[in-house]
């Protein structure tokens, strides 16, 4: 497994041009006390004019004959530059410079221009006149170092960062056909563990940055903070990936502390596209394709199930030959066996899915008004009937320059989602015996194929039988005004609002999986949320000789309001009305409503200091006040500091050519988390009907089983981070390496109370967790010459997660998935350990443990001669030991190819599929290798109608490392010489495959979703088209 992934690294082991070491003279530098001149130089450095050539004779009207052109290409220090691509423009003819930087080629009649290009340098186009000697000097491309990265409440040059920030360009999010932008980041962010746990239409991916910190509810209390165009809490699933300009991921305390309690688990900042000046540009992005199930475990066929059931009753002494079948099968089952009616129920459910996405965008404007508008439609039909997700979205961004010191703008994002949700049919399909037929000879549906009460797994697909639909409207509106009253000072005020309404209707008929032949039900649940934000950012920038600094101050007010209501009843009289007429559901009516509200007020300050453009300091402090916490505990202060040293800019680094860029950085800070509901510090009551008889009813009140705690405090996470950023060989190889150590104190956890108290739990601050690890991101420009380029991006992260302390020691839960043990991650399997199956000849040893040959053999951990709770042990952790990604981008002329691998290693799963073992033979199950006297396997115990399925959870726990070919995309851009004739700027066609193949020791299903049989993942193939006008 590990070897398989590491062998992929061979892709980046390519030959680089010979490195020439020299002792060049230092080039003149811009005076460091003229900051404005330096800034101007950076801004214009991307436009290097072609070198001035000697005058030529322009009087001749005759074209020159084929001739040899030779010369030398030098770097900025005057040294010959090897490996430079020298190509005759608009042809495939060219050469490369040798170890001394010299070249020679033959220019055909009509050649007009030579193009010189090399990784890390700006390309130059030089006209061909009458010279035979052409010597040029290439200029270093500083664009990467001067690239602007979005950080909290501002931007910074990449070279000036003191924190751990990863920036992803918008085009990376469109290389893979995805439902949400986060899924496109998989394998590209070191330290971000991203997985897709469900294959249902519209299902989103989950993300964890640097492990789990909180233990109260790991699935929700460790979520990252999303910020879209400065507005917090935007649902990333509403954003069309084509609208994204960049995604910046903040991971360490120096970067996230400015968001205080909101940034403890990492911050993802999404910046959408803005309008541009000049003529309007129209873009169309569209793709469509089909999907199929990607790895779904096989279940026993009819003959396999018959053999399994016979074995169960043979072990019980009831069956000895087919003549005894009437003792173990009922009449409908025997009839099905005789007619050989053996349906494979899961296969009857799975279908071919369909996915499409279309987006139209327009950008344009003047020098004062810039507009970006887009509209999109996304549709996914899942691999099950009644499973469909449709999203209609629109975005408009407007930026207006009012005068030379006032700008304003608005940003709007609207999304309407129509989602048909299928109730899980797989648990029924995997349990029902594979006998009978779903339809009779006339094509009529059979609700109970074998009689009795076992419903047909296809029941929900019948007309007017089942409907579950959720309609959601979400709008994100924000407006800003920015003032620049004097040089260096700006004030930006942003007012944002997120409005959301959703309506979930649910109906199931009598003869459905939920109805189970007894009753129908209809209900509607409505939710409304209104989240408001008002943030003011004050920024002052100043440079004084060798010193430059930026001071940022922020005030923030956030409010969150939610209301909900539900109503329903049984016995829907008109099935075709589903849940639209609740008055017709006239039995057992039910209803209710709810409300919640909370506020967060914050004050923030930050100083970014830079001395000589080499020594960097960032200091941040934020104070948060949360209405969730009790008086005296609702305010907390979150400080951080970061240092940076640009070693490559020191004088002792000038006389070498290997290290282009080298920066050392370190940070330390504190962030917080208030992972509780808005009223967790208060006691609550519930009304119930109470009466001594039917005639005299009165309201009574019950105290909530979880009592409030006014002394509840913030969870506090202190994080130390040390990192190095390095660029080699003119940034042909770049790397970012981080080591971090994060401790979370005062964990909020529902503490169990004694039964005599009359309540069950209270939220308390207990314990400490720790996450520490290393992250590596490497990018290489392997080849870039003669119209061919190949780059590789490698990510690797290893995180060690553990609980350091708990108030009363380990918490051992009855559920093998919920125990908390010091020194271990928060998500472990604490269970009995299966060591095999008791075999023939081990009867006496097995009898000591009340077992017989064919039973599961459990390890006697404490060797006390019995199996009880003290023999439970740590089986494994759901947390991977390491994660990684390997992406290759190859371009040749108009063709582009992207190949992405991802990996997760060391994690364990408890699979639903492997739990599908019904030892008594009454129900179907997974197609597995089980013990019989003739087949003494150690995999599964012997079927036995008279023995229980004790220790069945031990059968489900497996190590689930995998490497996955996540995506392959092949595209072709039609030459502009063709598209220009059609008045089209660009046309790109592509095909893409997602989730194509998995390398794993688990072959029965896709291990990414932990073998959950009711949520199989899908494989997708699409054809796409991008057009620009």
Q: Residue 352 — very low, low, confident or very high, per pLDDT cuts 50/70/90?
A: very high
Residue 108 lies in a domain: yes
Q: How large is the average pLDDT for residues 305-329?
A: 95
CATH of the domain at 71: 2.60.40.1120
Residue 24 lies in a domain: yes
Residue 531 lies in a domain: no
Who wins on pLDDT, 675 or 794? Answer: 794
Nearest-angstrom CA–CA distance, 808 and 814: 17
Q: How large is the average pLDDT for residues 895-908?
A: 96
Q: Does residue 30 register a pLDDT over 50?
A: no
Q: Does residue 621 register a pLDDT over 70?
A: yes
pLDDT, one tens digit per residue, over 647-702 is 999 999 988 889 999 999 999 999 888 878 888 888 888 777 666 555 666 777 88
Q: Residue 262 — very low, low, confident or very high, per pLDDT cuts 50/70/90?
A: confident
Domain closes at, from 119, 141, 163:
141
Q: How large is the average pLDDT for residues 795-811?
A: 92
Instruction: Pick the closest to residue 783 from 72, 175, 84 (CA basis).
Output: 84
Q: Three-class SS string for 870-886?
A: HHCEEEEECCCCEEEEE
Predicted model pTM: 0.84
Q: How large is the average pLDDT for residues 251-277?
A: 88
In the chain, the number of structural domains is 2
pLDDT confidence of residue 26: 35
Q: Which residues contact 20 (CB under 8 A, 6 or more apart)?
A: 79, 80, 82, 99, 657
Q: Residue 229 — very low, low, confident or very high, per pLDDT cuts 50/70/90?
A: very high
Residue 398 lies in a domain: no
What tokens does 273 get? 């596209």
Residue 585 lies in a domain: no
DSSP state of 236: G
Q: How large is the average pLDDT for residues 787-815?
A: 91
pLDDT, one tens digit per residue, over 238-250 is 999 999 999 999 9
Domain closes at, from 303, 319, 349:
349
pLDDT confidence of residue 697: 65
Range in 87-96, 148-157, 313-322, 584-593 the model is least confident about: 87-96
Q: In the predicted model, what is the mean pLDDT of the chain?
A: 87
Instruction: Pick the closest to residue 126 from 103, 160, 145 (CA basis).
Output: 103
Q: How large is the average pLDDT for residues 459-471?
A: 95
Beta bridge partners of 857: 836
Q: How large is the average pLDDT for residues 171-196?
A: 89
| Residue ranges making up the domain that contains 78 | 1-30+65-141
Q: How large is the average pLDDT for residues 186-195?
A: 93
CA distances from 543 to 36, 45, 77, 156, 609 (A): 9, 21, 29, 15, 10
Who wins on pLDDT, 217 or 637? Answer: 637
Nearest-angstrom CA–CA distance, 182 and 201: 16
Contacts 24+ apart (CB under 8 A), 863-871: 867/832, 869/812, 871/832, 871/833
Q: Does residue 306 register a pLDDT over 60?
A: yes
- Catalogue the E-assigned strands of 545-584: 547-572
pLDDT confidence of residue 19: 34
Domain closes at, from 317, 349, 381:
349
pLDDT confidence of residue 77: 66
Q: Residue 411 — very low, low, confident or very high, per pLDDT cuts 50/70/90?
A: very high
396: exposed, middle or buried (Cβ count in 10 Å: 0-12, 13-18, 19+): middle
Residue 321 lies in a domain: yes
Task: For the beta carbon of residue 366, count every other beta carbon within 10 angstroms.
Answer: 12
Most distant CA atoms of the chain, gap in Å = 116
Nearest-angstrom CA–CA distance, 79 and 82: 9
Q: Residue 416 — very low, low, confident or very high, per pLDDT cuts 50/70/90?
A: very high
Phi-psi region of 426 (alpha: psi -120 to 50; beta: other; left: phi over 0): alpha
Q: How large is the average pLDDT for residues 62-67?
A: 59
Range in 286-290, 339-343, 781-785, 922-926 the model is least confident about: 781-785
Range in 136-140, 223-227, 850-854 the model is least confident about: 136-140
Share of the chain above pLDDT 90, in %: 62
Residue 897 lies in a domain: no
Question: CB–CB of 1024/285 below 8 Å?
Answer: yes
Q: Does residue 15 register a pLDDT over 50?
A: no
Question: CB–CB of 179/380 below 8 Å?
Answer: yes
Residue length, the chain? Answer: 1029
Residue 82 lies in a domain: yes
Q: Residue 145 — very low, low, confident or very high, per pLDDT cuts 50/70/90?
A: low
Nearest-angstrom CA–CA distance, 828 and 910: 10
Q: Does residue 65 register a pLDDT over 70?
A: no
Nearest-angstrom CA–CA distance, 461 and 476: 36
Nearest-angstrom CA–CA distance, 812 and 830: 8
DSSP state of 20: P
Q: Does residue 603 register a pLDDT over 60?
A: yes
Q: Does residue 404 register a pLDDT over 80?
A: yes
- Catalogue the E-assigned strands of 573-692: 585-611, 615-626, 635-646, 659-673, 685-691
Nearest-angstrom CA–CA distance, 299 and 297: 7
Q: How large is the average pLDDT for residues 767-775?
A: 95
């Amino acid at each position: 497994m590990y070897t398989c992934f590491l062998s992929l690294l061979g892709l980046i082991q390519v030959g680089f041009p010979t490195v020439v070491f020299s002792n060049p003279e230092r080039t003149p530098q811009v005076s460091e006390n003229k900051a404005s001149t330096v800034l101007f130089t950076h801004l214009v450095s991307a436009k290097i004019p072609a070198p001035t050539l000697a005058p030529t004779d322009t009087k001749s009207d005759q074209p020159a004959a084929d001739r040899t052109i030779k010369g030398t290409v030098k770097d900025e220090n005057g040294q010959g530059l090897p490996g430079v691509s020298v190509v005759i423009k608009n042809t495939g003819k060219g050469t490369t410079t040798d170890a001394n930087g010299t070249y020679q080629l033959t220019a055909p009649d009509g050649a007009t221009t030579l193009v010189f290009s090399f990784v890390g340098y700006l390309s130059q186009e030089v006209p061909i006149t009458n010279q035979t000697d052409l010597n040029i000097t290439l200029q270093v491309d500083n664009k990467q170092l001067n690239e602007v990265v979005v950080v909290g409440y501002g931007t910074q040059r990449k070279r000036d960062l003191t924190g751990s920030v990863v920036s992803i360009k918008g085009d990376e999010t469109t290389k893979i056909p995805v439902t949400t932008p986060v899924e496109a980041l998989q394998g590209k962010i070191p330290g971000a563990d991203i997985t897709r746990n469900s294959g249902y239409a519209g299902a989103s991916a989950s993300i964890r940055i640097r492990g789990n910190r909180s233990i109260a509810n790991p699935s929700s209390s460790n979520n990252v903070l999303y910020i879209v165009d400065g507005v917090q809490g935007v649902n990333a699933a509403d954003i069309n990936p084509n609208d994204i300009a960049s995604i910046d991921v903040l991971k360490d305390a120096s970067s996230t502390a400015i968001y205080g309690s909101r940034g403890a688990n990492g911050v993802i900042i999404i910046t959408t596209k803005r309008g541009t000046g000049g003529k309007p540009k129209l873009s169309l992005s569209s793709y469509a394709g089909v999907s199929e199930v990607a790895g779904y475990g096989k279940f026993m066929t009819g003959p396999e199930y018959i053999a399994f059931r016979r074995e169960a009753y043979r072990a019980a002494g009831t069956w000895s030959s087919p003549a005894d079948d009437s003792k173990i099968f009922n009449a409908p089952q025997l009839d099905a066996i005789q007619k050989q009616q053996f349906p494979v129920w899961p296969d009857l459910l799975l279908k071919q899915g369909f996915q499409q996405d279309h987006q139209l965008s327009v950008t344009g404007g003047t020098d004062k008004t810039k507009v970006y508008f887009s509209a999109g439609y996304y549709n996914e039909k899942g691999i099950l009937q009644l499973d469909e997700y449709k999203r209609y979205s629109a975005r408009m961004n407007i930026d207006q320059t009012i005068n030379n010191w006032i700008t304003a703008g608005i940003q709007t994002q609207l999304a309407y989602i129509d989602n048909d949700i299928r109730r899980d049919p797989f648990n029924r399909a995997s349990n029902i015996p594979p006998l009978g037929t779903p339809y009779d000879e006339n094509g009529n549906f059979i609700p109970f194929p074998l009689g009795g009460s076992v419903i047909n797994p296809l029941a929900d697909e019948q007309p007017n039988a089942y409907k579950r639909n959720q309609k959601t409207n979400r709008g994100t509106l924000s407006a800003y005004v920015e003032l620049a009253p004097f040089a260096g000072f700006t004030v930006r005020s942003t007012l944002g609002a997120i409005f959301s309404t959703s309506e979930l209707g649910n109906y199931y008929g009598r003869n459905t999986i939920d109805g189970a032949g007894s009753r129908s039900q209809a209900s509607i649940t409505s939710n409304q949320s209104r989240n408001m934000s008002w943030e003011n950012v004050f920024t002052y920038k100043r440079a004084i000789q060798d010193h430059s600094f930026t001071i940022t101050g922020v005030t923030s007010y956030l409010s969150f309001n939610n209301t909900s209501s539900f109503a329903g009843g049984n016995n829907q009289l008109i099935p075709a009305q589903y849940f639209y007429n609740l008055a017709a559901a006239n039995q057992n009516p039910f209803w209710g409503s709810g409300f919640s509200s909370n506020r967060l007020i914050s004050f923030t300050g930050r100083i970014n200091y830079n001395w000589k453009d080499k020594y960097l300091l960032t200091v941040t402090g934020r104070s948060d006040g949360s209405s969730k916490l009790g008086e005296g505990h609702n305010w907390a202060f979150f400080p951080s500091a970061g240092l940076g040293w640009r070693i490559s800019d020191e004088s002792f680094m000038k006389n070498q050519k290997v290290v282009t860029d080298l920066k050392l950085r370190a940070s330390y800070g504190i962030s917080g988390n208030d992972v509780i509901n808005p009223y967790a510090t208060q006691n609550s009551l519930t009304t119930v009907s109470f009466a001594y008889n039917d005639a005299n009813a009165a309201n009574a009140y019950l105290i909530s089983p979880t009592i409030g705690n006014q002394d509840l405090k913030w969870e506090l996470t202190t994080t130390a981070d040390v990192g190095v950023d390095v660029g080699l060989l003119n940034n042909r190889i770049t790397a970012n390496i981080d080591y971090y150590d994060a401790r979370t104190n005062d964990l909020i956890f529902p503490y169990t109370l004694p039964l005599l108290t009359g309540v069950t739990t209270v939220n308390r601050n207990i314990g400490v967790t720790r996450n520490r690890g290393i992250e590596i991101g490497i990018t290489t420009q392997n080849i870039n010459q003669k119209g061919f380029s190949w780059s590789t991006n490698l990510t690797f992260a290893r995180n060690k997660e553990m609980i350091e302390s708990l108030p009363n020691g380990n918490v051992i839960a009855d559920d093998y998935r919920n125990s908390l043990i010091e020194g271990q991650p928060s998500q472990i399997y604490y269970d009995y350990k299966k060591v095999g199956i008791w075999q023939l000849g081990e009867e006496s040893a097995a009898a000591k443990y009340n077992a017989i040959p064919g039973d599961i053999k459990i390890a006697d951990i404490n060797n006390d001669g019995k199996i009880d709770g003290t023999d439970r042990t740590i089986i494994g952790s759901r947390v991977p030991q390491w994660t990684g990604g390997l992406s290759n981008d190859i371009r040749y002329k108009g063709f582009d190819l992207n190949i992405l691998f991802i990996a997760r290693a060391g994690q364990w799963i408890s699979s639903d599929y492997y739990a599908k073992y019904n030892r008594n033979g009454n129900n179907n199950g997974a197609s597995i290798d089980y013990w019989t006297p003739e087949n003494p396997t150690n995999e599964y115990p012997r079927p036995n109608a008279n023995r229980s399925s004790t220790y069945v959870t031990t059968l489900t726990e497996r190590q689930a490392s995998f490497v996955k070919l996540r995506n392959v995309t092949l595209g072709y851009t039609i030459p502009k010489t063709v598209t220009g004739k059609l008045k089209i700027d660009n046309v790109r066609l592509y095909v893409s495959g997602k989730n194509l193949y998995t390398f794993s020791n688990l072959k029965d299903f896709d291990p990414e979703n932990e073998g959950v049989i009711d949520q199989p993942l899908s494989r997708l193939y699409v054809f796409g088209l991008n057009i620009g006008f």
